[in-house]
Structure 1
Amino acid sequence: MEERRWLIALGAGLILLSLVLYALHFLIFRDFFHISIYTLGDVAFLPLEILLVAVVFHQVLASRDRRQRMEKLNMVIGTFFSAFGTQLLTYISDNDPDLDRVRPMLLVDETWTDETFREVESRLKRHPCRVGMERIDLAAVKRFLGSREDLLLRMLENPVLLEQEAFTELLRAVFHLNEELQRRPDVSSLPETDTAHLAGDLERIYALLIREWLDYMRYLQKNYPYLFSLAMRTNPFDETASAVVE
């Protein structure tokens, strides 16, 4: 309410100042004809001024603001993969019985183009993203996610994630799996029905995680070659991956 009153007062003050200046012009020069000409010229230019200021300038600012928000979002995504996303993807994918079908096409390098990324994304949609639960150590997954619960919560509370629904959905899926595991005192002797339920949670994460990882790799390749270099050397689908430069 106070802001509205301030705007109304400002507008009224500016209009009054304009009238006073026009009156002063008339008192000094006694030339109403020129006042009319310049007033009409100013009014005629007003629509163009509105177009330039309210539309063009606004779009420039909005585009800049959008780029800044996306930059912040990608910083959050980078933190996610650095803190535990890459490790989680490595562990889950290592327990994918069909991994050998897609492993060769996920060895991203600097020669990849947008067309390459699009082609791989298309092929990944046909990958079942299954997880062999007989090889999964649920206790280890429980400890791993539990140790990063605070980071997950902080990320979910970050408002910039509203710009990226797919990544937000991934965080929700990871947080849900962590909640499922933390509510089970002993995950070493679960019935088959419960194991199947947890397998569904893991496979949901796997499908979302692999797509987000690929998008992030494309972003790094385009914008941060030095970060992309490390991401290539620690590729979760590369069996010979090593951070050591050889």
Structure 2
Amino acid sequence: MKQLLNWRILLGLFLLLLSVFFYALHYLIFHDAHHIFIYLVGDVAFVFIEVLLVTMIIHHLLNEWDKRSKLQKLNMVIETFFSEFGKPLIAYLSSADTTLPSIRNAVVMDCNEQAPDFKAANAKISGYRGNIDLAQVNLGNLEMFLRDRRGFLVSLLQNPNLLEHESFTESLMAVFHITEELAARDLTDLSEEDRQHTKQDLERAYGLLTQQWVAYMDYIHKHYPYFFVFAMNTNPFDADAAWLDRWTGKVHGESPA
């Protein structure tokens, strides 16, 4: 770091000396200090405009373009996650969530509404974890479902675009933790303490996935309204959704009809 700083200082001094040399050469040839100072002051004055244009406007526009590009790529990753992994998992856990009716209006939107109130929906599910009834969860089937998709989950976590989305990464880590926990336990002989711990892990992941689902619905409603209709017709929180049995069937290891 010190060598790099010294190198920059030397380069700066060298460029400054070059400027002094050529200004002196100009004076020796033309003997016109008035002309030199007119252009010198004019060039210095333009530097501030250049800084404004380059660092504050152009740089800002480039950053915004880069952010939008990354956001689009990230949401493609999120869509892949929900299609291949998230929807079946949410559908299965939501079917065991005894408090789901309390947030149903926040996660099941009306496709015919001009503008669903996503702000109110986000406020309603903030901190939501549900209440998973373990009696309705086949942990063996769930463990196999997660284990079979462990490679897919790892590949998502390795995606550099996810660094821009901390909350989604946190959701993936919560699901990954469940995968490891279930794989490490004897699910046929769980103590009450282990059952409570598993219940808490499931509720943590389920709550985070719920928040990600609503945030993603907000995004596609704004940018891809035609896809929003499909998403609502295959909503994993909706007991009346046409594909709900297909999503839950994946966790049970059943082939779609």
Q: TM-score, normalized by length of structure 1?
A: 0.84
Which residue matches 1:111? 113
Which residue matches 1:80? 81
Cα 1:48/1:64, change in 2 over 3 Å: same
Tell whether the 8 Å contact from 1:92 to 1:131 is kept in structure 2 after alignment: yes
Which residue matches 1:159? 160
Alignment of 1:130-141 (within 5 A): 130-141=131-142
Residues 46-105 of structure 1 deviation map (CA, whole Å, 9 limit, x = unaligned): 223223222332222222222222222222211211111011100000111222333344
Give, in whole Å, the separation in 1 of the partners of 2:210 and 2:12.
55
Alignment of 1:14-25 (within 5 A): 18=19, 22=23, 25=26
Give, in whole Å, the separation in 1 of the partners of 2:114 and 2:178.
33
Counterpart check, 1:39 vs 2:63? no
Alignment of 1:1-246 (within 5 A): 18=19, 22=23, 25-26=26-27, 29-108=30-109, 109=111, 111=113, 113=115, 116-125=117-126, 129-184=130-185, 186-242=186-242
Tell whether the 8 Å contact from 1:217 to 1:228 is kept in structure 2 after alignment: yes
Residues 195-225 of structure 1 deviation map (CA, whole Å, 9 limit, x = unaligned): 1111111011111111110100110111122
Give, in whole Å, the separation in 2 of the partners of 1:112 and 1:122.
20
Residue segments in structure 2 that go unaligned for 5+ positions in a row: 244-257
Tell whether the 8 Å contact from 2:130 to 2:203 is kept in structure 1 after alignment: yes
Deviation at 1:10, TM superposition (A): 6.9
Cα 1:225/1:3, change in 2 over 3 Å: farther
RMSD after superposition: 2.7
Deviation at 1:233, TM superposition (A): 1.5
Cα 1:22/1:5, change in 2 over 3 Å: same
Cα 1:206/1:128, change in 2 over 3 Å: closer
Residues 111-152 of structure 1 deviation map (CA, whole Å, 9 limit, x = unaligned): 2536x1111222234755000100100011101100111111
Deviation at 1:26, TM superposition (A): 4.2
Aligned length, in residue pairs: 241
Deviation at 1:178, TM superposition (A): 0.2
Give, in whole Å, the separation in 2 of the partners of 1:126 and 1:182.
27
Q: TM-score, normalized by length of structure 2?
A: 0.81
Tell whether the 8 Å contact from 1:181 to 1:187 is kept in structure 2 after alignment: yes
Tell whether the 8 Å contact from 2:106 to 2:125 is kept in structure 1 after alignment: no
Give, in whole Å, the separation in 1 of the partners of 2:41 and 2:127.
66
Cα 1:225/1:30, change in 2 over 3 Å: same
Q: Secondary structure at the match of 1:150?
A: helix
Q: Secondary structure at the match of 1:46?
A: helix
Residue segments in structure 1 that go unaligned for 5+ positions in a row: none
